[in-house]
Each structure stands twice: as structure tokens, then as C-alpha cells.
Structure 1
Amino acid sequence: MRYLKADQLDFTIETTPPMPLPRRVLMVTPDHFDVVYVINPHMEGHVGQIDRTLARQQWEALRDTYQKLGFDVHVLEGAPGLPDMVFCANQTLPFLQENGQRGVVLSRMHAPQRRAEVPYLARFFEAQGYTLRSIPEDVPGSFEGMGDALWHPGHALLWGGYGFRTDPAVYEWLAQTLGVRVITLHLTDPDFYHLDTCLSLLDAGTALYVPAAFDDEGRALLHRLIPHLIEVPEREARELLACNAHCPDGRHVLIQRGCTETIARLRAAGFEPIELETSEFLKSGGSVFCMKLMFF
């Protein structure tokens, strides 16, 4: 079932089926990363401004951090002519069903410039033994994978953002196809064009969020289901993409360096922030969460 309003909720997080946290990480090399077009507000003024040597150093530091935390990191080579393929959270949605079946839903990218990225990820997951699911032609609109669709930590519950990149009709299909509940959140600010730029789920009961990115119904849904919402200052959210942080284990939070107030609030809530530099990727509208894909 797809939920649009807080008064539709007929469950709690605790009553949703469990789902283990993924332990494998996919990253795509940044060898071809660049800003060559503008498809989100963060790209404005940055065409041709990427330092690829620095981008590679920042990418390697993120890869090394996941490895040090004990995750199994897989690396896929980026493809020429696909400068945004490095943001590998967007091309698929990995899932794990109760019967143990592993699969991915293939994205239908909104921007034509990014559509050729999807087959590369599809081939990777097919080689991993994953079932590939494509959105049927009769389901309208685009879908941008884990840029907009986020699994609730430890539960088979999906949060889905829509308004800029993903069509809400896709979530109805996902709910039926995967047999899960989907909470849909309307994104209203173009700076927060993906859900992963304004909501970071840390553990089953805690999340970072940017209130201004959502409408009243979205904020009500978040407050009803997540008991500990940590508000991110708008400057850090807009300029440093603080909400594009990632908490892979319910404890450590990988986040852009310099998000001072957000980091203080994370520490006060009992988390361990790990500051990383993603300045080159910020120029394209992405940071930590965009640069990896967790899979089962």
C-alpha cells in the first residue's frame, strides 16, 4: 500500500516486517566524472570546473572508509560519456524479499543524459545473481532508484520522494510488486531534488531531515513514524548537502566535512560522525549517499 497522508497510517515501524541491513557497497569510479550540463540547481556555475585528481582522492577516501568499517566494497568502472554514473545510488533500487530473493528495480532516469547509465548497473547486478525488474510501460513517469526511494533501516518499509525526479505512480507499482508499504513524501524545493538530499535515515527511530524540503503532509508523516528527527540547518543542507550523509550501521555517520551544527547534533544523539571531503562532487549536486549503493 502507498501512503500519502498521516491519517492513512494503520501501522507502526515496529509492526513492519524486518529486513537486514545490507553489508555490501557498490561504488563507480570517478574517472569520467565532470559537470558538462545542468540538471539540478547545484550544477549552476560549475560546468567544466571539476578537478578530477582531487575528485579521485575524495572518492578513494570514501571507499577506504567503508572498507575500514568492515563493508564489502565492489567497484564498477565508470563509462566514457557518462559523467554522473559515479552517483550510483540513482540507477537501481536493490531489494531483498522474505523468501531470500535478491533483486533490483531498474531506474527510468528523468534526465536523458543519464539514461545510458542504467544498463551498466543492470549487468553488474545480473552477474551478482540478482533478479532484474523493469518498470512496465503502462506505469507512467520516471524513477531514480535510491536517490528517491530509501529503505527504512532494519525494516521492509520504503520511503519515496516525488516532485522533481520520480513519478508517484511508480510507488504504487513498487508497493504491489515488492509487497511492501511505501510512504510517499512530496518534495517542494528544487535544491532538494532527491529525497536523499533532505532525509537521511540513521537507524530505526532516528533521521536527519530538512523541514523546508517537504509539504505539511510530508512533515506530518515523518513526525508520526520517526520519533527522533534531527533538524539540519538549511545552510548546511543547501550548501554542504549535510542530509546526503550515510549511516550504514546505525552508529557511524559519513558526512561532508564542515557541517558543524549537524555534526554536533549527531554527537548529542549518540552517533559517531566521520567527516569526509566531497567538495568536487558537491558541484554536481551529490555527496556521500549519492556516491555509493548499498546492496544485499
Structure 2
Amino acid sequence: MTTTVPCRVATRRRFLLCPPAYFAVEYAINPWMDPSRPVDADAALRQWRTLRDTLRELGHRVETLQPLPRLPDMVFAANGASVVDGRVLVARFRHPERAPEAAAHRSWFRQAGYRPTVAQLPNEGQGDFLPVGDLVLAGSGLRTSPAAHREAEAALGRRVVSLQLTDPRFYHLDTALAVLSEDQIMYYPPAFTPESDRTLRALFPRAILATDRDADVLGLNAISDGRHVLLTDAAEGLAEQLRADGFVPVGVHLPELLKGGGGPKCCVLELHPAPGGHR
């Protein structure tokens, strides 16, 4: 029996990124971070620029958030806000080390023409809120409060599906799950409770399932435009599965930023859609 490979279509996206001008690992707020390991700041900047340039080469619009001193994790821009249908919910970080980043995001969105709402409950932006189809998949259990899911549902105007994370290595939803298209995801089942795994299998019966090897290199921290999928070049198994499902994997090399517990998606906040179409 021959299986038909779906025809995948890319759509032009708009992204917000923040250069790693002050990137360092000065504290440990996730299992990937080890302040005793040296970080090559110049290499981190080169790797980030390659990610930015790759997005542009694929036809996407890249906006830039100004980095601030003493905020080494600002490069992980995805955590600063959730943007759905032009509605913006600014993060409220759980750890005090990152808390000042929220004000920088709020200021950027205001200047860009949005009317952001600031979260009142712990919520780490697109790290834990991923739009797919007419839903928002939301992670909890490690960073974002379960109660914050209801707050986000009201602020973003979409139904939120709650998913519970269980493994500290996968501390945000976007480290354990990637949205590939309006009806397709890839994820790592052991990162979720059995109930959340069942929810995902029911919603996405054709989901791509990551192996331990690919999950262990944050292979699921990926960016998709519906056809091209940017993911770490170390996730070779996922790349093969993506090709078999009609996607075009684009490997990127970010080993320095991985020392902070982030991959391609952590560095990219997708803006859904550009100002003018938001409510």
C-alpha cells in the first residue's frame, strides 16, 4: 500500500528575535544550565546570526528586540510574550532573574502598535503557549501556572488545551512539542503525563513522535512555517521523519545557546499576525 506524502506549503511569518549581546550562564534555573561551563559569547552571536539570516532567506520578516545588560537570557525571546491573532499577553516570569525582561517586551509591543496585556499569573509566553489551528496548546507543571491557562484563554481569545509537563529537562512546552502546521505537531510523549499524552494523540493522531536521542538535544525546540522546519542539526532522526511527512528540515547549529537551555524556537517569538490585523 502506497502512502501519500502531504504537500506542505510555507507561509510568510513575522518573528521577534533578540541578539545575545549579553548572553552568559550566570545562574541555573533549568537542568541545562551550568555556570561552571564556559560560554563563548562570540560563538553564540555568530550562531544566532545564522538563525536570523536563515529565517530571512526563507522569506520571513525578522524584528529585533534591543538586548539589555544584566539580562543574559533575553536571547530566548519566545518566553517574553504570547501573541495570538494580534492579541498580546506579556509574560510574568517565575524566576526573579528573568522578571525584568517582561517590561522590555511590553515596551516593544506598545511601540510596535499592539495593546499588550500583562499577565497576573506565572506565564512564560510562547515557551508554554503554542497556537495550532483554532487552539492554543498550553504547558504547565514546571514554569507556567495551570491557573494561567484560564487567564490566557480570556486574554488571547482562543480555547486553551492544558498539558502537564513532568520532566524538568523539558521545562517549557516548546522544548517537548513543536507545531508544524495547522493540523500537525511533533512531540516527546515521556515529557507529559499519561493523560496529556492521550489528549495529544486524540487531537493529532498523525503526530511525529520524537525518540529519546532527538529529545535529549532539544530537537523539538523547532520553528515551522508550514513547510520548512528549523531545528538543531543534531536531531537527525527527527529530520528523517519530517522529510517522510513532506516537510523540509533545515538544520541549525546552536550549541552555545543550548548551554542556557534553549534552541531555535526559544530564540524566536512568532507574531500572529502583524499589527493592523490585531484586535
Same fold (TM > 0.5): yes
| Matched letter for residue 97 of structure 2 | Q
**Corresponding position: 1:94 with 2:71:** no
What CA deviation, in whole Å up to 9, does each residue of 1:30-60 have, x standing for no partner?
Answer: 110010000000113x545110111111000
CA distance in structure 2 between the aligned counterparts of 1:61 and 1:256, rounded to whole angstroms: 12
Residue 241 of structure 1 aligns with an amino acid whose one-letter code is: L
Residue 134 of structure 1 and its aligned partner are, at CA, apart by 1.7
Q: Give the match for residue 115 of structure 1.
A: 99
What does residue 10 of structure 1 align with?
A: none
Over 3 Å counting, the alpha-carbon distance change for 1:177 and 1:27 in structure 2 is closer
Question: 1:135 Cα shift?
Answer: 2.5
2:165 pairs with 1:187: yes
Residue of structure 2 equivalent to 1:78: 67
Whether contact under 8 Å (1:148, 1:166) holds in the other structure is: yes
**Which residue of 1 is the match for residue 219 of structure 2?**
242
* Alpha-carbon distance between aligned partners in 2 of 1:290 and 1:54, rounded to the nearest angstrom: 17
For residue 17 of structure 2, what is the aligned residue in structure 1?
27
Runs of 5+ in structure 1 lacking a partner? 1-20, 97-101
User: Per-residue CA shift, 1:66-116, capped at 9, x if unaligned?
Assistant: 1011111111221100000000000111122xxxxx331011101100001
Residue identity matched to 2:27: Y
1:219-258 → structure 2 map (5 Å cutoff):
219-238=197-216, 240-247=217-224, 249-258=225-234
Distance 1:78 1:177 in 2: 27
Specify the alignment match of 1:106 in structure 2.
90
Structure 2 Cα separation of the partners of residues 74 and 177 of structure 1? 23
- Residue 190 to residue 227, structure 1, CA distance change in 2 (3 Å): same
Aligned residue for 1:35, secondary structure, equals coil
TM-score by length of 2: 0.91
Counterpart in 2 of 1:125? Answer: 109
Q: Which residue of 1 aligns with 2:187?
A: 209
Counterpart of 1:147? 127
Q: Secondary structure at the match of 1:284?
A: coil
Instruction: Tell me how far apart the structure 1 counterparts of residues 219 and 155 of structure 2 sit (CA, whole Å).
Output: 32
Aligned position for 1:7: none
Letter aligned with residue 83 of structure 2: P
SS across alignment from 2:231: strand
TM-score, normalised relative to structure 1? 0.86
Partner of 1:265: helix, strand, or coil?
helix
* Structure 2 equivalent of residue 279 of structure 1: 255
Q: Tell me the equivalent position of 2:5.
A: none
* Aligned equivalents of 1:75, 1:283: Cα separation in 2: 22
3-state SS in 1 of match to 2:207: strand
The answer as to 2:147 corresponding to 1:169 is yes
Supply the AA of the counterpart residue of 1:223. R
Preserved contact between residue 34 and residue 48 of structure 1 (Cα < 8 Å)? no
Aligned-residue RMSD, C-alpha: 1.3
- The answer to whether the Cα contact below 8 Å between 1:89 and 1:292 also exists between their aligned partners in 2 is yes
Q: Would you tell me which structure has more helix in proportion to its own residues?
A: 1
| Gaps in structure 2 of 5+ consecutive residues | 1-10, 274-279
How many residue pairs get matched?
262
d(CA) in 2 for partners of 1:103 and 1:245?
23
Q: Deviations over 1:123-142 (max 9, x none)?
A: 11101110111234xxxx41
CA contact (8 A) 2:87 2:156 kept: no
